[in-house]
Amino acid sequence: MADPTRFDPFGALRGVLRPPADKSISHRAAMIAAMGTGETDVIGYLDAADTRSTLAAVQAVGARLVGESATATLAEDDGLGAARLRIAGVGLRGARPAAIDVGNAGTLLRLLPGWLAGQPQGKWTLDGDESIRKRPVDRVASPLREMGARLAARDDRLPPLEVEGASLHGITYELPAARDQVKSCLLFAGLLAAGETRVVEPLPTRDHSERMLAAAGAQVRREGDTVVIAPAERLEPGRIVVPADFSSAAFFIVAATIVPGSDVLLHQVGLNPTRTGLLDILRRMGAAKIEIADVAEDGGEPIGDIRVGHSELQGCEVGGADVPLAIDELPLVALAACFAAGTTTIRDAAELRKKESDRIATVTDALRALGGQVEATEDGMVIEGTGGLRGGAIDSHGDHRIAMLGAIAGAASREGVEVTNMGAAAVSYPGFEGDLGSLQQGPPLHDPVH
Ligand code: S3P
């Protein structure tokens, strides 16, 4: 792949596509299938670097790919850019000891220890790439220890993380910040603990784990702001359907909103309300041409089509409950804000500093390099909209979402954008450049978006 990669403005984005499978749901599908008794069909598993790490991890602890998926490569997909897998689980208490390479996958790093910690027969080590070695694990280690788990981390805070299985007991844990990964980790641990485990959320976070565990037979319920899980003997997921990833669709949602004349239809996208906060933020900014259609539930998750056209935007305030519902889309909110009139303030988002890169720093630097007026704050950004971006050159810093942000900025800019290390996009969206290119001069859709 050429490095840097150039993205020139090509006018309106038009066309129809199905973004790749949901990364969050794919990680959970592989882990919960591995915990399962018997075989689980995963329909539409994401074929990307992060979710390959999870598949390798569950195989390392003893889960097996069976049937056609044992010999097919992930790339031999069903034509929708998504693979079908059949995974034979090891059962809730059957994980084999292993050294696990989590690659770049923060979700794998934080969720898997919850399951492993409650299995007294084993010892596991989780480690990954240079970026993962900077991502804190104390947020899961400390509540897991309260449950009786034995864990050790570098400087008590960072990977490698060692887990020595132990007998766990349920606790009530108030999340100090709205972090789904910690909630999900404790729910996994709760399956193997004595008594109920209760996790109190300060604000709602994504709830894919609860939905998938309930569908697999776990006793999990919500009581107000608290998720409660009971210990389980076994899980039987059977079949898990993975929708297209809203966080991947988000790049085209924002692109179509900021490039005049655009009309893009995104098919079969996950519309779980704990993930779609970007739509609410864009609507507050004045994006009137966002239509949702054909919503249906499959496997406990709402799935539907999103059609987006261009709108003039105004700045807005983003903070509080917006943040966990749009955590991975906040870089795109900052991009959209550059194309708006007036000021946009993003606050309460210090968590962005702990993602695949320090996204407050990398987004601010990138947008400024392209002519944006952006100031970083401790917990967010302040963006003065100027109605557009000049263009220029940025570095992804190995962060998939920054790479794709640069590409979208290029398509929407006046002079184009060069992105160094564009290959990082493959962490969640290997076909991204092809999909963006397919929207160039696509045929007009019928019935213009209103
Ligand atoms: C994820 C949760 C979020 C999100 C990450 C994926 C998940 O992280 O940013 O990309 O799959 O659970 P936090 O829970 O740490 O906010």
Q: Report which secondary-structure segment, H or E, holds 176.
A: none
Q: 387 CA to middle of ligand 1, Å?
A: 31
Atom number, ligand 1, closest to the C-alpha of residue 28: 11
Q: Does pLDDT of 240 surpass 50? A: yes
Residue 71: the pLDDT is 54
Residue 83: the pLDDT is 74
Residues noted as catalytic: 328
| Ligand 1 pocket, mutate which of 327, 353, 358 (most atoms under 8 A from CB) | 327
| Ligand 1 pocket, mutate which of 22, 24, 402 (most atoms under 8 A from CB) | 24
Atom number, ligand 1, closest to the C-alpha of residue 111: 12
**What residue owns the CA closest to ligand 1's atom 11?**
24
Other Cβ atoms less than 10 A from the Cβ of 220: the count is 23
Q: Does pLDDT of 260 surpass 50? A: yes
Distances (CA, A) of 286 to 309, 317, 412: 12, 13, 18
Instruction: Quickly state the pLDDT bin for 81 (edges 50, 70, 90).
Output: very low
Residue 298: the pLDDT is 85
Q: Does pLDDT of 146 surpass 90? A: yes
**What residue owns the CA closest to ligand 1's atom 10?**
328
310 phi/psi in degrees, rounded to 5: -75, 145
**What residue owns the CA closest to ligand 1's atom 13?**
179
Q: 67 CA to middle of ligand 1, Å?
A: 31
Listing DSSP states for 66-120 in one string gives: -THHHHS-TTS--SSSEEEEEEE---TT-PPPEEEEEET-HHHHHHHHHHHTT-T
**What residue owns the CA closest to ligand 1's atom 16?**
179
- Which pLDDT tens digit goes with each residue over 13-72? 999 999 999 999 999 999 999 999 999 999 999 999 999 999 999 999 999 999 766 555
Instruction: Quickly state the pLDDT bin for 437 (edges 50, 70, 90).
Output: very high
Residue 87: the pLDDT is 97
Residue 73: the pLDDT is 52
Atom number, ligand 1, closest to the C-alpha of residue 183: 14
Q: Token digits for 137?
A: 């694990």
CA angle 411, 303, 79 (to 5 degrees): 70
Atom number, ligand 1, closest to the C-alpha of residue 27: 11
| Ligand 1 pocket, mutate which of 111, 112, 181, 348 (most atoms under 8 A from CB) | 181
Q: 445 CA to middle of ligand 1, Å?
A: 34
Residue 67: the pLDDT is 74
Residue 414: the pLDDT is 98
Residue 342 falls in which region: left (phi positive, over 0), alpha (psi -120 to 50) or beta: left
Atom number, ligand 1, closest to the C-alpha of residue 184: 12
Other Cβ atoms less than 10 A from the Cβ of 293: the count is 9
Residue 79: the pLDDT is 41
Taking the alpha carbons of 371, 373, 376, 381 in that order, is the dihedral positive or negative?
negative
CA 412/CA 219 separation, integer angstroms: 47
DSSP lists the bridge partners of residue 194 as 169
Hunting for tokens 């994401």 — which residue is that? 46
Q: 386 CA to middle of ligand 1, Å?
A: 31
Residues touching ligand 1 (Cβ under 6 Å) are: 24, 27, 107, 179-181, 184, 206, 327-328, 351
CA 104/CA 27 separation, integer angstroms: 13
* pTM of the shown model: 0.95
Query: How do 263-270 and 14-17 pair as beta strands?
Result: parallel
- Which pLDDT tens digit goes with each residue over 115-135? 999 999 899 999 999 999 999
Residue 80: the pLDDT is 39
Q: Token digits for 152?
A: 């050790």
Atom number, ligand 1, closest to the C-alpha of residue 328: 9
- Average pLDDT taken over every residue of the chain: 95
| Ligand 1 pocket, mutate which of 32, 46, 107 (most atoms under 8 A from CB) | 107
Residue 299: the pLDDT is 82
Q: 411 CA to middle of ligand 1, Å?
A: 27
Task: Using alpha carbons, select from 358, 324, 298 the residue that is nearest to residue 21.
Answer: 298
Instruction: Quickly state the pLDDT bin for 448 (edges 50, 70, 90).
Output: low
Listing DSSP states for 278-343 in one string gives: HHHHHHHTT---EEEEEEEEETTEEEEEEEEE----B--EE-TTHHHHTGGGHHHHHHHHHTSEEE
What value does the mean pLDDT take over residues 76-83? 48
Q: Report which secondary-structure segment, H or E, holds 164.
A: strand 158-164
What value does the mean pLDDT take over residues 203-210? 98
- Which pLDDT tens digit goes with each residue over 391-430? 999 999 999 999 999 999 999 999 999 999 999 999 999 9
Q: 318 CA to middle of ligand 1, Å?
A: 18
Q: Strand, coil or helix: what is 404?
A: helix
What value does the mean pLDDT take over residues 254-263? 98
- Which pLDDT tens digit goes with each residue over 264-321? 999 999 999 999 999 999 999 999 999 999 999 988 999 999 999 999 999 999 999 9
User: Percentage of residues in the chain with pLDDT exceeding 90?
Assistant: 92
Q: Does pLDDT of 449 surpass 80? A: no
Residue 69: the pLDDT is 67
What value does the mean pLDDT take over residues 200-216? 98
Higher pLDDT among residues 183 and 71, named by residue = 183
Q: Token digits for 49?
A: 């670097």
Q: 327 CA to middle of ligand 1, Å?
A: 8
Residue 444: the pLDDT is 67
Q: Does pLDDT of 263 surpass 90? A: yes
Q: Does pLDDT of 191 surpass 50? A: yes
Q: Does pLDDT of 77 surpass 60? A: no
Residue 173: the pLDDT is 98
